[in-house]
Amino acid sequence: MPFKLTAHAGTVINVSQGMIGGAYEGDILLQPNLLFQQQGNFTQLNAGLYAVKYPFVLGGWFRHNFENPDAAIVLAGITWQNFRFAYSFDISLSQIGMPGGGAHEISFAWDFCIYRESKRRIRTIKSPSF
């Protein structure tokens, strides 16, 4: 099987505070993301943007496989305590088109914290909300 290369980049733009990085509950955030994947002759670039106002998130992605545009994705979700629930729909842009029906997806995530004996939180790498 050919080697797979994946690269992800993203940031958090705090619109409420006018800064990049920090996020506080109730702030309006924009989270642009890029995901690049290549394996053998297949290359794909996903570009997306989330708009967050806790506890709600709206997002959109564009998936392109370098030979033709593949899909546009819309997402709506909510965060409650350590849980995230979302609904997304992939709108096919390829030659299959909407007769393929697109794709519905419901997702559920559980964020759990890992603590040391001193009850201090272990530093983790941030990842996209949804």
Per-residue pLDDT tens over the stretch 61-117? 999 987 777 889 999 999 988 899 999 999 888 766 556 668 899 999 988 776 555
The Cα–Cα gap between 113 and 124 comes to 10
Tell me whether residue 125 is in a domain: no
Q: How confident is the model at residue 127 (pLDDT cuts 50, 70, 90)?
A: low
What residues make up the domain containing 71?
Answer: 4-110
pLDDT(119) > 70: no
Kindly report the average pLDDT of the chain as a whole number: 84
User: Which of residues 25 and 76 earns the better pLDDT score?
Assistant: 76
Tell me whether residue 95 is in a domain: yes
Tell me whether residue 62 is in a domain: yes
- Residue 1, token pair as written in the block: 């099987």
Q: Fill in the amino acid letter for 20.
A: I
Question: What is the DSSP track for 58-119?
Answer: EEEEEEE-SSSEEEEEEEEEEEETTEEEEEEEEEE-STT-GGG--EEEEEEEE----B-TT-
pLDDT(29) > 60: yes
Tell me whether residue 78 is in a domain: yes
pLDDT score of 53: 93
Total domains present in the chain: 1
- Contact predicate 54/66, CB 8 Å: no
